[in-house]
Amino acid sequence: MLDMWRVGIDVGGTFTDLFAWEETDKSYKTAKVLTTKDDRSRGVVQSIEAAGIAFDQISFLMHGTTTATNSLIERNYPDAAFITTEGFRDTIEIGRQHRKALYDPYQSKPEPLIRRRNRFAIPERMSAKGQPRRPLDEDIAQQVAETIARRGIQSVGIGFINSYSNPAHEQRMRQIVREANPQAHIVISAETRPIFREHGRFTTTAIRACMMPVMTSYFDRLEDALRAKGFRGSLLILKSNGGVMGAKNAKDRPEELIESGPAGGVAYASYLSRTTDFDNIIHTDVGGTSFDASIVEHGKGLITRSYELEWEVPVSVPMLDIHSVGAGGGSIGWVDEGGSLRVGPRSAGSEPGPACYRRGGAEPTITDANLILGRLNPSLSDKFELDVAAAERAIDGLAAKIGLSRLETAEGMIRISCETMAQAVKGVVVARARDPRDFVLASFGGAGPMHACFVAQAMNIPKVIIPGQAGVASAFGATAMNIRHDVEAFHYASLDDVDVADLNRLYAELEDKALNRLLADGIGASETKITRTAQMRYVGQTYEVDTDIPNGTIKKEQISSIADAFHNAHRLEYGVSSDDFPIAFVALGVTAVGALTEPPHFNFGAKQSRANGASRDVYFDGHWIKSSLYSSGELQPGSTVKGPSIVEYTDSIAVLPPGTSGKVDDSGNLIVTIAN
């Protein structure tokens, strides 16, 4: 019988990571290759070849990708059009008239997702209760459809005011556009995001329209490349909500892929929560380009519906609450107009990469700084030889601009980068009213363990978990994810006066939609778990709180328990609740999960200790300090590591500064205690 592999692949800005485990004997393989930016699907194929896995022996390929995010941020996609109600043409550009910096008179909004010349307004009007107030002007609609076709635009979003209550006008507009332009991708807001607040609904619809041709092209290329190599398994794509979906669903709903890459890291943090004694974890992931932070509480990543791709560019779908900043191993050091040292967000990425990579890079990066400070082995764990002289030249050029020594500049870059990372952690912890002292910090990514202890010190986090496979953690996490679909519908009703028959009917409809999406991914009803939520608020509030709703037929006598669940959820998020204000439903949601086989409990520790007592000088706080050196193969469960130390793993390097100490647990994770 052939070995069959579960393969997870995470395509980052610098590296493409792979983790795979065999479904029978539970052996595993890893690989890390440079990301092929011209066509990221090539890097996916190369990582499988580097791991030595036969393509016809892959049962599931779980793929996390930043392609959608990068295309949106760079505005790198074919022209798209947007059709809306007369008077709302500029809604996606005006936004909510918030200011990112209250007192900055020179701030500007992000570039609109769709250019104004390609945004069109049609006379029509639907009331908030779904009653037609003004019929769709079909003559103007026809003219607009013909204009879009004449311009050669092949992707169209349609978003009419109040269409969440009655989609008839949007559906008719889609027919008209399709008649004029049969090959176009056409999306309507009533299907993309059928709830109120037009800015988020319109923007999310525009994102789907912009991304459909990009992601369809990418997944088509990837599927063709994999099939040509003999792949016959299931291609599953990581979603922003912490689940996966089939490639067909991913092509149709690309707005659900915005945090596809980082979602794998959250899944690995959840796996750690289930296999260690730590219930509450702050997940952090440092790659070559970015730093991601999120919270895993009681084994689950927290979900948000207020995610913004950029300021005033909301993506109004349920997403893991991940905060990302431009701080990674490839982040470039520079001097601003005031003469201050800065680091990032610009990154050298994989092309040309840090100066020490010998790929043409000449600008100073975090990787170059760590090399000069003795924290990186020039042989990079025997992968390839780093160019120390090139790193020194890059750092020297920056040092000359600010009047510091080479070592002072390198250490300053690390401190600034770690403070940027700490602020990202603070952003997710404080925003959710959590105390960082109640959590441990899990450090993932090739560059993560080098900086984790410094970030934990800055945030008063008492412990750090460094997994044995930290360098490919997001790829590992991908193999621990289930197929998941979230569907929602607008429903405003007072809790006291709600018609339970309406509730039951709407939840039944949502469950049917969710089950049909799972069916499209090959999951039968018997393999499915359904959970219900409702977005609820006190009457008069402008924000909602997700509240768990019981399954099955809801009865009138259950209303009081639903109220209690809302009070508890509100208290958890905001620290307060009240019995004095009435409660209202705003939207209903259903999550359908198709469970896949959980990864086995791996032990990444060595079978026996082979400590060799090696050491080298490493630069900490202005001094060279003799530091112990370990390879991960020297550490077995129960082994202790006292800082200052360097631990070299296959795909990452851990730095334990003075005052820290670590111990290896039964699974091979290094648990570091921070002296604050």
Confidence at residue 613, expressed as pLDDT on a 0 to 100 scale: 66
Report the DSSP beta bridge partners of residue 483: 244, 594
Q: What is the pTM of this model?
A: 0.87
Confidence at residue 235, expressed as pLDDT on a 0 to 100 scale: 94
pLDDT in tens, 195-232: 889 999 999 999 999 999 999 999 999 999 999 999 99
How far apart are alpha carbons 573 and 577 in whole angstroms? 10
Residue 518 in 3-state DSSP? helix
CA geometry: angle at 561 spanning 555 and 565, to 5°?
130
Confidence at residue 381, expressed as pLDDT on a 0 to 100 scale: 59
**Span of 42-51, 212-221, 258-267, 302-311 with lowest mean pLDDT:** 302-311
Per-residue pLDDT, averaged over 268-294, amounts to: 89
pLDDT in tens, 57-81: 999 999 998 888 888 888 889 999 9
For 429, 470, 652, the CA distances from 441, given in Å and listed in that order, are: 12, 12, 16
* Residue the block writes with tokens 């939520």: 533
Angle between helices 67-74 and 198-228 (to 10 degrees): 130
Given a cut of 60, is residue 566 above it in pLDDT?
Answer: yes
Minimal CA–CA distance to 169: which of 154, 153, 190, 149?
190
* Residue the block writes with tokens 């008069």: 540
Say which residues have a Cβ less than 8 Å from residue 222's Cβ, sequence separation at least 6: 41, 44, 63, 235, 247
**Span of 139-148, 271-280, 324-333 with lowest mean pLDDT:** 324-333
**Span of 317-326, 391-400, 474-483 with lowest mean pLDDT:** 317-326
Confidence at residue 554, expressed as pLDDT on a 0 to 100 scale: 95
483-594 CATH choice from 2.10.70, 3.30.160, 3.90.1720, 3.30.1490: 3.30.1490
Query: Band of the pLDDT at 609, cuts 50, 70, 90?
Result: very low
3-state per-residue secondary structure call for 317-360: CCEECEEEECCCCCEEEEECCCCCEEEEEEECCCCCCCHHHCCC
Minimal CA–CA distance to 354: which of 336, 370, 339?
370
Confidence at residue 380, expressed as pLDDT on a 0 to 100 scale: 65
Query: Band of the pLDDT at 676, cuts 50, 70, 90?
Result: low
Domain ranges of the chain: 5-72+216-257, 75-214, 331-415, 483-594, 615-673
Confidence at residue 611, expressed as pLDDT on a 0 to 100 scale: 46
For residue 352, cis peptide bond before it (omega within 30 degrees of 0) = yes
For residue 345, cis peptide bond before it (omega within 30 degrees of 0) = yes
Given a cut of 90, is residue 307 above it in pLDDT?
Answer: no
Given a cut of 70, is residue 605 above it in pLDDT?
Answer: no
5-72+216-257 CATH choice from 3.20.20.70, 3.30.420.40, 3.40.50.150, 3.30.70.260: 3.30.420.40
Task: Please count the other Cβ atoms lying within 10 Å of the Cβ belonging to residue 455.
Answer: 29
How crowded is the C-beta side of 298, counted as CA atoms within 13 Å?
A: 1
Backbone angles phi, psi at 432, to 5 degrees: -100, 15
Instruction: Evaluate whether 188 touches 169 at the Cβ level (below 8 Å).
Output: no
pLDDT in tens, 492-515: 999 999 999 999 999 999 999 999
* Residue the block writes with tokens 């990425």: 349
Confidence at residue 2, expressed as pLDDT on a 0 to 100 scale: 63
How far apart are alpha carbons 221 and 348 in whole angstroms? 26
State the distance between the two ends of the chain, measured CA to CA, in whole angstroms: 54
For 2, 4, 5, 20, 633, the CA distances from 25, given in Å and listed in that order, are: 12, 10, 10, 12, 21
How far apart are alpha carbons 173 and 169 in whole angstroms? 6
Q: How many residues does the chain have?
A: 676
Q: Which amino acid is at 22?
A: E
Instruction: Evaluate whether 656 touches 645 at the Cβ level (below 8 Å).
Output: yes
